[in-house]
Structure formats: C-alpha cells, structure tokens
Structure 1
C-alpha cells in the first residue's frame, strides 16, 4: 500500500467508520427493542448511500492502486451485522442485561403511564394484571409489543375466534413477550 493515495485511504476509512456507525445503530436498536423499523429505514438508507460511495472507492482502490484489504472490510462488517441480527444475538443480549432490573420492577409492578426506563428498555406503560405484570415497549415497530411477567408460568389463552388481544411467546420461566393483534378480516 505504499503507492496508495492518502486521500483514497482517508475516504475509505471514513466510509468504513460511517458504515460501522450504521451497523452499531442497528445492533443497538434491536438490543434495546426500540423502534427497529425506523432504525432499519434510517440505517438501511445510510448503508445504501454509503454502499454506493464504498463501491466507487473500492473500484478506484482495485484499479488504480491494486489494493483490496480496506475494500473487503465494509462487506464483512455488514455481513457480520446481518448474521448477528438473524441469530438474534443483540435481542438476547439486551434481554439478559435487562432481566434483573425487570424482575425487580415486576416484583413491585407499579402502574405507570409515562416513559419509564428499565435496563436497556423504555416502556410507555407498566400495568398490573390479574396474571402478573405487563411492560409495554415504547415505539415497538418490529418485534414484540412488550414483556409480561406471569408468575404461574402460564399465559392467558385466547378464545379460538378472538378478533383482538395479546399473543404471548415464552421467554423462559415466568417471562413472556406479547404482541397486540387485531384481526383485519373481522
């Protein structure tokens, strides 16, 4: 790389850093279960623009300078981010880091109607229910709408033809995620 232009190296490193910021933003959004849809749109748009810039720089680096090492780092970073998201590692890590604080909050289960931060998550409300305690995630665009602590370990069953309600998915022990649904066919 001794014949490589410092301007090209600077542009490629700057592009790589911006791609890394987009990837980290996606990982953070999924770990904190914030509005992942918005994060995907912003980071995806950013990665699209940066991808065009990266492609131009990679072509210049390959043709003019015969250097490829910096050019392979951006795709590797994007593939690594995609693999982590597909394997649900950020979501699982966010849950593991937040679970102790959520268990403490579930023990008290104080009803709130304002944004409350517990662990890595922000909830728009916490509500005591006959089954236990529900935590509604603020701005949940993709993924679950919240968490439910149900000490019995058994989520409420919906009638077979329910048009509206909450679907529960076990997380382990007394913890569940839930999704609000409305049947559009009704």
Structure 2
C-alpha cells in the first residue's frame, strides 16, 4: 500500500460519525429554539453541557478519522455545525429571530392587555401573565428562573423611569421602539 492510497473507513466509524453529527445537529436546533424562546437557565445549561459532551466525543472520533482514514467531510460536519451555532449565538441571531417572529403577535395582544389566565404561547415566548402597569402593557415571560421579567409595550410614551430602582419595583430598559425589557425586583 502506498502513502497516497486511502484506507476506507470501517462501517462502524461511518455510522458512529453520522449518528454523532445528527445528535449535534439536533442539539444545535434545540439550543437555537431555547435561545429564541428565552427558555430557562437550567434548560440552556443542560443543552450546552450535552453539546459540549457530544462535541468532545465527536472531535476525538473525528481526529481519529482524519488521521487514519482521511475522511474530511464526515469528520468536519459536526464541528462546522457547532461553529455555525457559535456564530449565530455571538451575533444574537436566535434571540432576534424569536423577537421578529413574536413582535406582531405581542402588539396585537397589547391592545386589550388582558391576562389570558394560564400560561400561553405568544409567538415563540411562553407568557406567564399579562398586566397593565405604569401606562403600558407588561408581558411576563416564562424564561426567567430567578426574577420576574419580560417585555413591556408603551405605545404613547415611555415608562416612568429607565434603569433599575433602588428598592423593590420594576426596572425598564429600551429594547425596540415602543418596546422595553423589564425586570421586577421584589
């Protein structure tokens, strides 16, 4: 066998790399969804940990495949998916896409600003409840594990104050036109 001859990878290697790449793709899509929908911290942490774990296994097996079998496409698919996810997260694409998909639905709901009762999905966000406050309509999202937060719509004038209050209360920060992000301190 000469140096230029390629050793054909065994079937187990091809199947394993294919399955690992599929798992990486599913984890990347799940992370994009959770980031767009502003899922909870625990969900994000578990998905990131799973992606790191599967990514490490895929990298080790991929290095073996590159060195021993010279199968570049099969070995680089998963790292390229992870790199694409990293770029999307770095530029805030999932969060922005979630907002763009949901903004119109939230604006329609803000005209009545009526609490639907139970948790409901508006766009990609799970809304805990809706309340009229400070002259605007507040949408409490389900993704905040430690505090109560969400989106606030002030179509006519902004909120009374921007920034976090010294004591208990709601802090607003500008987000997108008449939309603000808020966090409520107890």
Normalized against structure 2, the TM-score is what?
0.86
Do the aligned partners of residues 86 and 164 (structure 1) sit closer, same or farther apart at CA in structure 2, a change above 3 Å counting? Answer: farther
Structure 2: runs of 5 or more not aligned: 1-5
Number of equivalences: 181
Is the counterpart of residue 168 in structure 1 residue 172 in structure 2? yes
Asked whether the 8 Å contact 2:105–2:122 carries over to 1, the reply is yes
Which is further off, 108-117 or 15-24? 108-117
Of 135, 140, 148, which residue of structure 1 is paired with 2:139? 135
1:78 to partner: Cα distance: 1.1
Instruction: Show the counterpart of 2:3.
Output: none
Q: Give the root-mean-square deviation of aligned CA atoms.
A: 2.4
TM-superposition CA deviations, 1:120-139 (whole Å, max 9, x none): 11111101124121000013
TM-score, normalization by structure 1: 0.86
Q: Which runs of 5+ in 1 are unaligned?
A: none
Retained in 2: the 8 A contact 1:4–1:65? yes
Q: Report the counterpart of residue 17 of structure 1 in structure 2.
A: 22
Contact 2:162 2:173 in 1 (8 A): no
Closer, same or farther in 2 for the Cα pair 1:143/1:85, shift >3 Å? farther
Mapped to 2, the partners of 1:75 and 1:144 lie a distance apart of 36
Question: What is the deviation of 1:160?
Answer: 8.4
Offset at residue 6 of structure 1 (A): 2.0
Q: Which residue number corresponds to residue 39 of structure 1?
A: 43
State the secondary structure of the residue aligned to 2:111. Answer: helix
1:84 matched to which residue of 2?
A: 88
159-168 or 115-124, which deviates more: 159-168
- In 2, distance between residues paired with 1:99 and 1:174? 11
- Following the alignment from structure 1 to structure 2, what is the Cα–Cα distance between the partners of residues 155 and 97? 24
